[in-house]
Amino acid sequence: EANAVIIPQCSHIPPGRRGCLMETTVSPNKEELVIRPLHSGDIYTSFQFRTLWETDFTRENKVSHYRLFPKSLGQVISKFSVRELHISFTQGYWRTMQWGQPYLPSPPGAELWVWFQDSLTDVDGTWKELTNVLSGIFCASLNFIDSTNTVQPSASFKPLGIGNVTDHQIVCTENLTPWKKLLPCGSKAGLAVLLKSEKLFHSSFHSQAVHIRPVCKDDQCKTTSWELRQTLNVVFDLHNSGQGKNEWSLFKMFSRTLTEACPVASSSKIYIDITDNSQGEQFELSPATPLLSQAVVLGDRRTFSVYDLTQQITFGTICNVLKLPVTYSAHAGDMLRPLLHAERYVAGYGLQTGEIHTLMYNNHPYRSFPVLLLDSVPWYLRLYIHTLTVTSKGKDNKPSYIHYQPSKDRVRPHLLEMLVQLPPNSVTEVTLQFERALLKWTEYTPDPNHGFYVGSSVISSLVPSIVAMDTNNSRERPLFSSFFPSKEESSYFVRVYTEPLLVNLPTPDFSMPYNVICLTCTVVAVGYGSLYNLLTRSFQIEEPSPGLAKRIANIIRKMRGVPPL
Amino acid sequence: CVGINLRYRFHVSLLCKLVSCFGDRAGQFFSSGHTNNWAVLVCTSRFWFNYRHVANTLSVYRSVKRLGIPDSHIVLMLADDMACNHRNPKPATVFSHKNMELNVYGDDVEVDYRGYEVTVENFLRILTGRLPPSTPRSKRLLSDDRSNILIYLTGHGGNGFLKFQDSEEISNVELADAFEQMWQKRRYNELLFIIDTCQGASMYERFYSPNLMALASSQVGEDSLSHQPDLAIGVHLMDRYTFYLLEFLEDIHPASKTNMNDLFKVCPKSQCVSTPGHRTDLFLRDPGSVLITDFFGSVRKVELTMETINLTDPIDAESGELQKEMHTYADQLPVSEIIHQKPKQKDWHPPDGFILGLWTLILLVFFQTYGVKHLKHIF
């Protein structure tokens, strides 16, 4: 559908002028940091960097002028006819019950979802090349993504796309380094200065992501522009990292301070969530700022203190840095329970069979809402779909839509999608039995006793919201509240990821080929050797040599001329 | 076209007259014969207690980067992740000295092959250049016949083999053949091979291609020992040979004149306990005339040109027909649409395999029993 012709901005430049005029109504580059103190004593920080770009990749003349949009990603979009791309790398698991809902959910490990243009014919080949190219850009082992762990869901992740749900990955500085290099200011100025890897990875949760998609330029939405969002979500556990006391500051969290905003950013802001601190009873911000803003995010109206880095007045007068020390004075109260959260675990014993249990909690007191559960299980866990049961409050809960695509050994994984209505204030349990397969000995990883990972389940839902959501999507809003566009006011879209599973497969003894070769060779050598000797050797009688006394007697007898003994 | 070594220009133009010293420096430059530098650094061990092998590789990476070789010319292969390992008490760091003095992981590191990707097959494919077409550039060794390549291997090894990730080995014969393939395809000008494993000298015994120089940390029958444990991290941080190699390299800067004979003296038996060995018989030049920076540093080919280039006018894009259609954001969870979705019609595939065999058998038996001419009575 997205085939509108967009006029590039450089169309009417008189000769003698160089460069393109970027005349846009929307600011091309925005950066934002949201800090939210959580009830468990942790601090949730979320960086978002957004770049907008007006260009049309479907035209024949190749795009060659890149200013703020990184060239590596621009070339990926045009070469592989990508319409939308989401890639995230996460270390750690988001604990919904303790931390609430994240602004942007992500599963542990790496996740890649891509939507291609309609004009693309060879999706499989392009998918393989795209994963290889992205693995080079982000220094990640994405080249293990192939048809055996890729799914094309029919209902989740609208519009239809192709994706790899999760893959176990270790995320470290080598993934952060190329991510930082994609930012317009790199890590030299603006909020990206705070991204020091030693502090970022010493945290309970670390997630970095890149989202590329077309967005509406204005209200009528007749033209679209490309949006690149780079997000980084970190949850710091200040007790764990040796702080102890209930105080935090930018320097304590990131071991850096801010001195200036990124020069090419049109907006650079820090939001601190003070909704739970309306009378200042829990913590105190310094320097205090008069700027306050309210935003409806995740179905709730939250109040934020805003620090605008593009204003010189934000930085302290003494040393021109923004430190933001905060001291907690009282204990945090109870957190509002999140309306939807999920858990998943493997039950059973032994290495033959097992059972996957997925629990979905609806904590709303009187409203029920539908959830879409997407499960992608690798082929070596053979699911028995006839054992699938969905129960809520002890009774059977029949899903209104089920789509199941069985796996094919070594070709594709299981895909199960279900639309389930969750009754209010209840726990819904989905159970499924499976059997473990024995892999070929070359298919095992070098450390097979660690286990094999099963990606997280994805639960998408429209959750009723406490306050009316803003459906006017073209207005200028803070980045963290505008990722999922809302279509209706009474509910908002939420995506929850469960834990990944670690399943032990029956592992053979890898020293057996060596043992077998040794044993067989020994048996053959001994057996064949003996047989050969028996068949081909002939025996001759040999006189034993006589003793010394006899030999001397024989010599004397020979001298006498008498026959020997 | 003449490539002028950029780093020499700084020193030459300041210190001596251009004509006399230039001839001397240019002669020295052309005597080495290379125009670009590459490095392939491999750590082949997995698991937390092999921390020191990753630290070895990262310290060589750090030196090589410091002396000028860019990330695009370094292929770094680490078989396991130590920096963000959950056992690491200081995440995102890999230390080489006890008391955590030097973090060799740093803030700017690009690992090209990590984890399960470090296999014998991938290593040999990198060396010979026979990679699948979709491999990104950062994972390729794009060297040519004027490249000097540094290859550094570390891990656990034995007499004639090097163990990769506890599950496979590469033998010295395979390695020698890979280098011969590189020579025949003109993929290197000169190659320096350094290996820090037990019985490392056995790995270069079988080399037979020209222009190879090899160094090993121990002779056949000897073990390479590790340097010192750190009580906070709980493992040995570095191997002795690479520890003293790193110390030696920290004194090298891009313009230094130290040559290979100094490198051969690194880590004598008193410090290393094992006897480091080297092999130079296949190397055409005298090792005393080979600079350390010929392999560890970087040469950038710089062409100076005085002619002006006219930039073409920007492309005047014609404003095509404005097909302004309304776009909307797609509904994230269209419940009614999903429920009423018709299942996709599956394509009909002809029966294969077992079903086909079964039907063929039934038909054969049928025709055999009844004979063809009786069929007209049945049908």
Tens of pLDDT, residue by residue over A401-456, are: 899 999 999 988 999 999 999 999 999 999 999 999 999 988 898 888 898 999 88
| Chain B closest-CA separation from residue A223 CA (Å) | 7
| Contact between chains at A370 and B333 (C-beta distance less than 8 A) | yes
Q: DSSP alpha helices (H): ranges in A24-102?
A: 71-79, 96-99
B85, B90, B110 member nearest A177 (Cβ): B110
Reported as a pLDDT band with limits 50, 70 and 90, residue A227 is confident
| Chain B closest-CA separation from residue A320 CA (Å) | 25
| Contact between chains at A493 and B329 (C-beta distance less than 8 A) | no
Cis peptide before A159 (omega within 30 of 0): yes
| pLDDT of residue B36 exceeding 70 | yes
Residue B379 to residue B196: CA distance in whole angstroms: 82
DSSP string for residues in A541-559: --PPPP-HHHHHHHHHHHH
Q: What does each C-alpha distance from B41 to B19, B36, B363 come to in angstroms?
A: 40, 17, 64
A439 contacts: CB under 8 Å, gap ≥ 6: A380, A505
| pLDDT of residue B25 exceeding 80 | no
Overall average pLDDT of the A96-109 stretch: 88
Reported as a pLDDT band with limits 50, 70 and 90, residue B140 is very high
A143 CB neighbours in chain B (<8 A) are 117
pLDDT at B191: 94
The DSSP bridge partners found for residue B147 are: B36
Residue A455 to residue A381: CA distance in whole angstroms: 12
| Contact between chains at B341 and A447 (C-beta distance less than 8 A) | no
Residue A289 to residue A193: CA distance in whole angstroms: 22
Residue of A nearest to B328 (CA): A221
Residue B304 to residue A384: CA distance in whole angstroms: 70
Tens of pLDDT, residue by residue over B37-69, are: 999 999 999 999 999 999 999 999 999 999 999
| Contact between chains at B319 and A7 (C-beta distance less than 8 A) | yes
Residue of A nearest to B115 (CA): A141
| Contact between chains at A133 and B105 (C-beta distance less than 8 A) | no
pLDDT at A473: 59
Is A104 or B299 the better-scoring residue by pLDDT?
Answer: A104
Domain boundaries, chain A: 29-328, 340-469+486-503
Considering the segment(s) A340-469+486-503 as one domain, its CATH architecture is Sandwich (2.60)
Known active-site residue B21: no
| Contact between chains at B81 and A172 (C-beta distance less than 8 A) | yes
Containing H/E element for A375? strand A369-377
| pLDDT of residue B192 exceeding 80 | yes
Overall average pLDDT of the B253-258 stretch: 87
Overall average pLDDT of the B153-178 stretch: 93
pLDDT at A353: 93
- Looking at this protein, which amino acid is placed at residue A558? K
Q: Are A269 and A481 in contact (CB under 8 A)?
A: no
User: Which of A216-220, B30-34, B188-192 reaches the highest mean pLDDT?
Assistant: B188-192
Catalytic residue (choose from B43, B198, B267, B272): B198
Is A70 or A486 the better-scoring residue by pLDDT?
Answer: A70
Residue A222: other Cβ atoms inside 10 A: 16
For residue A175 the two structure tokens come to 């993934």
pLDDT at A267: 86
**Is the reported ipTM for this assembly greater than 0.95?**
no
Q: DSSP alpha helices (H): ranges in A139-237?
A: 173-181, 197-200
Reported as a pLDDT band with limits 50, 70 and 90, residue A529 is very high
- Looking at this protein, which amino acid is placed at residue A117? Q
> What's the topology of domain B34-296?
Rossmann fold (3.40.50)
- Looking at this protein, which amino acid is placed at residue A318? I
B135, B167, B339 member nearest A419 (Cβ): B339
pLDDT at A2: 28
For chain B, say whether A400 makes contact (Cβ under 8 Å): yes
Known active-site residue B272: no
| pLDDT of residue B33 exceeding 70 | yes
Closest to A171 in 3D by CA, of B245, B210, B81: B81
Residue of B nearest to A213 (CA): B329
| pLDDT of residue B162 exceeding 90 | yes
Beta strand B36-43 pairing with B156-158:
unpaired
| Chain B closest-CA separation from residue A159 CA (Å) | 7
Overall average pLDDT of the A77-95 stretch: 89
Q: Which residues 514-543 on chain A approach chain B with CB closer than 8 angstroms? A: none
The number of residues in chain B equals 379
Residue A169 to residue A89: CA distance in whole angstroms: 8
A528 contacts: CB under 8 Å, gap ≥ 6: none
Rounded to the nearest angstrom, the gap between the alpha carbon of residue A205 and the centroid of all alpha carbons in its chain is 12
Q: Which residue has the tokens 């003894």?
A: A509
Listed range (A223-237, B297-311, B326-340, B351-365) with the worst mean pLDDT: B326-340
pTM of the model: 0.82
Q: Are A143 and A132 in contact (CB under 8 A)?
A: yes
Reported as a pLDDT band with limits 50, 70 and 90, residue A312 is confident
| Contact between chains at A7 and B317 (C-beta distance less than 8 A) | yes
Beta strand A326-328 pairing with A283-285:
antiparallel
- What Rg do the C-alpha atoms of chain A give, in angstroms? 34
Tens of pLDDT, residue by residue over B92-138, are: 999 987 667 888 898 889 999 998 999 999 999 999 999 998 899 99
Q: What does each C-alpha distance from B106 to A139, A356, B88, B110, B233 come to in angstroms?
A: 16, 41, 15, 10, 17
Residue of A nearest to B110 (CA): A174
Tens of pLDDT, residue by residue over A456-476, are: 899 998 888 877 776 665 566
